[in-house]
Structure 1
Amino acid sequence: MPVVLYTLYRLALFGVFLGLLWWVGMQSWLAAVVAALLAWLASYAMLRRPRDAAVAWMARRGEDRERRGVTSRIGSGARQDADVEDAADEQARRAAGQDGTTPA
């Protein structure tokens, strides 16, 4: 699983930076914040290949779910909401005569 590997790399970078900052004397909560920022920057610059592999794996997984027809509750609910909004919008446009037809 590339996502797990990428996450472990990022956690390792955070641990290294936190250890270095602690070692040089920055022994407060600010060390964790600075270490997180440094790890983020370093992971963006150094972990391009694992990040791309994780993104590709997640995209393939999403395509597989779509192909099988698996939807989440949030996805189906959002789709239903969009259908209701589209129907209401269409009805309002017809009532106003904006869709090229005359109101009934």
Structure 2
Amino acid sequence: MRSVIAYTSARILLFAATAVILYLIGLTGLINLALAVLISGIVSYVLLSRQRDAVSTAFVSKKDQLTKSTADED
């Protein structure tokens, strides 16, 4: 669960930082938000790959635990 919170927080902070930088450059409104989503998505794909892998591992592990407990009940 901790990896999910860390990854989500990093994505939000990266988006906010990108939006602020674009605002300081002079972009406002919907253009700012659209470019912030696009740029932060590309940057997070590169910079946050380790955290994304940790989140994926956590989800697979949880799924395996749920599958095993469901099989044990049957």
- Tell me which residue corresponds to 2:27: 26
- Tell me which residue corresponds to 1:3: 4
- Tell me which residue corresponds to 1:69: 70
Supply the AA of the counterpart residue of 1:60: S
Deviation at residue 29 of structure 1 after TM alignment: 1.1
* Cα distance in 2 for residues equivalent to 1:63 and 1:32: 38
Q: Which has the higher helix share?
A: 2
- Tell me which residue corresponds to 1:51: 52
TM-score w.r.t. structure 1 length? 0.65
Q: Percent identity?
A: 24
Equivalenced residue count is: 70
| Runs of 5+ consecutive residues of structure 2 not aligned to the other structure | none
The higher radius of gyration belongs to 1
Deviation at residue 4 of structure 1 after TM alignment: 1.2
| Runs of 5+ consecutive residues of structure 1 not aligned to the other structure | 71-104
CA RMSD of aligned residues (A): 1.1
* Cα distance in 2 for residues equivalent to 1:3 and 1:33: 24
* Cα distance in 1 for residues equivalent to 2:28 and 2:39: 16
Q: Using CA pairs under 8 Å that are at least 6 residues apart, name the structure with larger relative contact order, 1 or 2.
A: 2
Residues 27-61 of structure 1: CA deviation (Å, up to 9, x unaligned): 11110010001110001001111110000000000
**Regions of 4+ moved over 6 Å:** none
